[in-house]
Amino acid sequence: MKVVVIQGPNLNMLGLREQNIYGPMKLEDIHSQMEGYAKQSETEVEFFQSNLEGEIVDKIQECIGDADGIIINPAAYSHTSIAIRDAIKAVQIPTVEVHISNIYAREEFRHTSLVAPVCAGQISGFGPFSYHLAMVAMTQILSEIKALKDSQAQQAQAQKPA
């Protein structure tokens, strides 16, 4: 299994910006923790960060045929980007939206995510641990998809005439 983790604008500034909201942990530290979980769950993980909406859309599209799942923190684009929403919907790859802060406890404009309706789920408000929860959720989703496909293949095989 392969999961691509896509990080949106300003997440490269974690550890420096608004530590009262995002904490002191740097993005590299979060990725390191995710790599540890990925190794335990025999999942390949790739990381990508961009401050540019178009680059994020391109990366989502590049996941077709290359990734089994996407974990995305669109950051501020969660609330504004129809392009990112449309890209997630178009690729039809299971996607989990993640946020470090509880977006529903912040400014009202952050309460609406345009991305959430096209994702399998959203995790927010658990600090950097949100990413761990997203990895757990994604590996579970992918395991369930694999089990369903295996079951369907077994049923199809059993129905073939001998």
DSSP code per residue over 113-133: -SSGGGSSEEEESSTTHHHHH
CA dist., res. 99 & res. 124, Å (int): 4
Length of the chain: 162
DSSP code per residue over 3-28: EEEEE-TTGGGTTTS-HHHH-S--HH
Catalytic residue among 22, 77, 131, 132: 22
Catalytic residue list contains 99: yes
The single-letter DSSP state of residue 108 is G
Catalytic residue among 31, 37, 99, 131: 99
Q: Which residues are catalytic?
A: 22, 99
